[in-house]
Copies of this chain bind each other. A is one copy, B any other.
Amino acid sequence: MNPSTKYDPAYLRDFVTRFFERLGCPRHDAEAIADVFIRAELRNLPSHGMIRIKDHFQLWEAGRLNIKPDIRIVHESPGTAVVDGDNAVGMLAAYRSMEIAIEKSEKAGSGWVATRNSNHFSIGSYYAMMALEHDMIGLAMTNGNPLVAPVNSTERMLGTNPIAVAVPAGKQPPFVGDFSTTPIARGKLGVAAKKGKKIPFGYVIDKNGNPSDDPDILKEGGAMVPLGGDIPHGSHKGYALGSIVDILTGVLSGANFGPFVPPNLAYLPIPEVQVGKGMGHFFGAWRIDAFMEAGEFKSRMDRWINVFRKSRPAPGKKVLIPGDIEREAEIRLAKEGISVLPAIQKDVKEVADKLGIEFRVLDS
């Protein structure tokens, strides 16, 4: 690790904990939130890491986050629950909800929690992976700020609505799929726009529904498209998939859905019409031995992973298992340290100064 250009993960973890404590969170809550932030950075998903400190500060300043929430079950059956997140920081509501899904699964064979009145939960894989140590298959989904137009529509109706699934294996590392139901994540548009670059066709449409290569088109009435890109390539399938996520996370939980989902950015207003409470998530855990002895399943999963990893590669390519890239990043960045873009360091420093806490800016 080069401490003049990279952060020790422990330093950032401590900073994020102090930041949320300073906002008023109990230490235990602040640590839980910080763990998700640092995991996102370590898994090399910086769009869900330190860049969100400023967003959380501004939401807190605007009175749009409840720092002392009463996260509680409001409806339940042996294998299911609805959790009201009480407008908590999303990571807290999500963590508690996934814990409940796992507890339910111990008894019923599977456990399902629909969560309302929550906020941005960072990376879904964090919660899905909580199931692994319990020999369960974990699932996490969330809806989000509407950006995506249904097929044949030009109106932003769906979030990028990611799905994360984690499956335990034996000798092999686990399978961890975590993907938005769009061709790309929103963040990639911003990066291209800042660089003044065009984007490939198949990511966005203009206000008339025509394909566009302009990364700024959302500012001019455009929209992102569902996974598949266009109808000949199956965007109606991505639309159905993103809709299923919205229904499970938003409709079934009593949260907002579709165009009513409140944005987790303080400079964007909450929609005037609300059809539920806050943002919605959905969590699940299937207990492996409710289907098959866990050891046998893990051997089968080892074989699945081996067979797929060894499938014939295209010339010069390497076949990967979902989760490989993030797991390798986690090992590497834990050693090498975490880079934070200078602009993000500056934002975090400004926030830290306002709150009267220390944040060290590195050489760039």
**A-B residue pairs in contact (CB < 8 Å), sample of 7:** A77-B109, A183-B228, A202-B232, A205-B314, A208-B315, A241-B241, A275-B300
In the assembly, what is the distance between CA of A154 and CA of B318, in Å? 11
Residue on B nearest A81 in the bound complex, by CB: B291
| Interface residue from B243, B251, B291, B315 paired with A300 (Cβ < 8 Å) | B251
In the assembly, what is the distance between CA of A258 and CA of B112, in Å? 28
In the assembly, what is the distance between CA of A103 and CA of B149, in Å? 37
User: What are the nearest 7 A-B pairs in CB distance?
Assistant: A209-B314, A77-B109, A177-B240, A80-B109, A77-B290, A152-B317, A179-B237
1/0 per residue A229-258: CB within 8 Å of B? 100111011111101101110111110011
In the assembly, what is the distance between CA of A257 and CA of B303, in Å? 10
Q: Is A157 an interface residue (CB 8 A)?
A: yes
Minimum CB–CB distance for A29 against chain B, Å: 26
In the assembly, what is the distance between CA of A300 and CA of B255, in Å? 10
For residue A155, which residues in chain B have a CB less than 8 angstroms away from its CB?
311-312
- Are A149 and B311 CB-contacts (below 8 A) given A79-B78, A110-B79? yes
In the assembly, what is the distance between CA of A300 and CA of B253, in Å? 10
For residue A182, which residues in chain B have a CB less than 8 angstroms away from its CB?
234
1/0 per residue A127-162: CB within 8 Å of B? 000000000010000000000011111110100000
Q: Are A322 and B243 in contact (CB under 8 A)?
A: yes
Q: Is A19 an interface residue (CB 8 A)?
A: no
Question: Which of A234, A290, A300 has the largest number of chain B CB atoms within 10 A?
Answer: A234
In the assembly, what is the distance between CA of A250 and CA of B253, in Å? 30
In the assembly, what is the distance between CA of A81 and CA of B286, in Å? 11
Q: Is A301 an interface residue (CB 8 A)?
A: yes
1/0 per residue A155-183: CB within 8 Å of B? 10100000101010000000101011111
Q: Are B149 and A110 in contact (CB under 8 A)?
A: no
For window 200-239 of A, CB contacts with B under 8 Å fall at 200, 202-203, 205, 208-209, 227-229, 232-234, 236-239
For residue A81, which residues in chain B have a CB less than 8 angstroms away from its CB?
291
For residue A153, which residues in chain B have a CB less than 8 angstroms away from its CB?
308, 311-314, 317, 319
In the assembly, what is the distance between CA of A304 and CA of B228, in Å? 23
Q: Are B114 and A112 in contact (CB under 8 A)?
A: no
Q: Is A292 an interface residue (CB 8 A)?
A: yes
Q: Is A39 an interface residue (CB 8 A)?
A: no
Q: Is A184 an interface residue (CB 8 A)?
A: yes
For residue A157, which residues in chain B have a CB less than 8 angstroms away from its CB?
307-308, 311
- Are A243 and B77 CB-contacts (below 8 A) given A152-B318, A208-B314, A227-B238? no
Q: Are B112 and A200 in contact (CB under 8 A)?
A: no
In the assembly, what is the distance between CA of A263 and CA of B114, in Å? 38
| Interface residue from B79, B151, B180, B240 paired with A108 (Cβ < 8 Å) | B79
